[in-house]
Structure 1
Amino acid sequence: MKSWAIPKGLSSDPKERRLAVRTEDHPFDYKDFEGIIPEGQYGAGEVIIWDKGYYINITRDSRGRTVSMEDAIKKGKIEVYFEGTKIKGGYALIRLKPGKDEKENWLVIKLKDQFVGSLPDDLQQIGQSVVTGKSIEDLKKTNKKKKILS
């Protein structure tokens, strides 16, 4: 499963450009994981299922033909339509030129559609898991209690 970390989260404002850092691909089974990844392991920390749904690849070439996701990633321009519980609408991911840190950085930009402005500026306002209703803070509290008890 192709993955990006978006430190400031998605925006529903097409004028906002958010950094999206490409991460290693995740096994598809990870889509159902919610919990705590122990310190010292890749991705350590608290994980919630913040949103759930599906996406449609809407990337097109200059002639309007569909571009495969694999080719879109290679070319550095992806357009997707999200149909999630929280996130809806079109987004573009555009790869930036490689920097000194060797990370594959992209920009994620909201496409203009009927879902512009549908998200609060502070995504923490809707920060609960769509599966359990827990927040990252709830998991942190659970993690602290476990450390105290062990």
Structure 2
Amino acid sequence: MSDKLSKYRSKRDPNRTPEPVPDTPSPDGSADGSVDGSVDGSVDGSVDGRAFVIQEHHARSLHWDLRLERDGVLVSWAVPKGLPADPDTNHLAVHTEDHPMEYLTFHGEIPQGEYGGGTMTVWDTGTYETEKWSDREVKVVLRGERASGRFVLFRTRGKNWMIHRMGAPVRDPFPPLTPMLPTDRTRPPKDVSAYAFEFAWGGRRLLVPIDGGRTDAARDHPWLRGLAESFGSRTAVLDGEVATLGGAELLVFYDLLYDDGHSLLTEPYTTRRAALEALNLTGPHWQTAPSWPGESDAVRRAAREQGLPGVIAKRLNSPYEPGPSKSWLFVPS
């Protein structure tokens, strides 16, 4: 018989990696049932309830590995941006070598310098049903805790594959990347208890969309790649500005427009602020800006002492309103 795991073994040394590396099989066994060797275009109900796993793999570049049990192995694809949440957007899926069944539960640190070196965790696991399986198209229904629904993997040109979600989107659309802007005031509002007060940093405004562990903002700010990767599969749109503090650039975040598949535009400032603080955004080039509800005079005085241009008063019950808004007030220090 053909050894379906020969390519897998050729890339791994069991003495150097914690990954499962089964022994070479004996000559007797079943035929190859992998994607490349199967040309079965019919519906295959005999594999209903077989296992799948999706692993989050922080290797040279972040990606997710989708593995489907079939004929004694895990047929595998690397999906750089994870499973698509919207049927209008297909994601690249790179067909890789078959993996052993023991990989269903594998997680750990693959040493740097080894094939796939980096941290691997189990992102989701469950069972799946097969609707079609051929050498050019695999249509399945995933039944996991985080990944569920109908997906089709299809071959394009050469060895390239894409993955498509069938059915309705499973998350809100991303909001427009238009920042909310304050209105200028010469004095703080009279009802200070209705506002939170933050420093006006005097920097460059920056909205940071994060999807699939990546952000377009990294094109101008490469150091944001680390922040985006730390989000894993969690989607977000962060609002802040790049300020120069102590001679170094620092991105200070002070609002959250979108979080984990849900738009927060209509939520009050207090809800968005709590969600932002729960992210614990602290890194070498970014941090969460402080906020002081009801503290007008002290914050304004501190801004003046630190040479900042002023403070922003943000109404506690205000939604996020892209463009100029009277719910945010700039007051000079």
User: Which TM-score band (shorter chain)?
Assistant: 0.5 to 0.7
Q: Distance in 2 between matches of 1:106 and 1:8?
A: 13
> Which of 46, 52, 55 is equivalent to 2:119?
46
Please state how far the C-alpha of 1:117 moved relative to its aligned partner. Answer: 2.4
Q: Distance in 2 between matches of 1:36 and 1:95?
A: 31
Equivalent in the alignment of 2:163 = 108
Give TM-score scaled by structure 2 length. 0.30
Are the counterparts in 2 of residues 13 and 117 from structure 1 also a CA contact under 8 Å? yes
Equivalent in the alignment of 1:27 = 100
3-state DSSP class of the match of 2:109?
strand
> Which of 79, 93, 96 is equivalent to 1:6?
79
Is the counterpart of residue 124 in structure 1 residue 234 in structure 2?
yes
Please state how far the C-alpha of 1:118 moved relative to its aligned partner. Answer: 2.1
> Which of 148, 151, 154 is equivalent to 1:94?
154
Please identify which structure carries the higher helix content.
1
Aligned length: 105
3-state DSSP class of the match of 1:86?
coil
3-state DSSP class of the match of 1:30?
helix
Bigger CA radius of gyration: 2
Equivalent in the alignment of 2:138 = 78
Are the counterparts in 2 of residues 11 and 119 from structure 1 also a CA contact under 8 Å? no
3-state DSSP class of the match of 2:234?
helix
Are the counterparts in 2 of residues 54 and 82 from structure 1 also a CA contact under 8 Å? yes
Q: What amino acid is aligned across from residue 117 of structure 1 in structure 2?
A: P
Q: Distance in 1 between matches of 2:234 and 2:114?
A: 25
Of the two structures, which has the highest relative contact order with CA contacts closer than 8 Å and spacing of 6 or more? Answer: 1
Please state how far the C-alpha of 1:43 moved relative to its aligned partner. Answer: 1.6
3-state DSSP class of the match of 2:102?
helix
Q: What amino acid is aligned across from residue 124 of structure 1 in structure 2?
A: R
3-state DSSP class of the match of 1:8?
coil
In structure 2, the gaps of 5 or more residues are 1-73, 175-210, 212-232, 236-259, 261-333
Q: Provide the identity percentage.
A: 36
Runs of 4+ in structure 1 over 4 Å off: none
Q: What amino acid is aligned across from residue 54 of structure 1 in structure 2?
A: T
Are the counterparts in 2 of residues 2 and 26 from structure 1 also a CA contact under 8 Å? yes
Q: Distance in 1 between matches of 2:171 and 2:115?
A: 30
Q: Distance in 1 between matches of 2:120 and 2:79?
A: 14
Please state how far the C-alpha of 1:36 moved relative to its aligned partner. Answer: 0.5
Give TM-score scaled by structure 1 length. 0.65
Please state how far the C-alpha of 1:42 moved relative to its aligned partner. Answer: 1.8
Q: 1:46/1:119 Cα in 2 relative to 1: closer, same or farther (>3 Å)? A: farther
3-state DSSP class of the match of 1:3?
strand
In structure 1, the gaps of 5 or more residues are 60-68, 99-103, 127-150
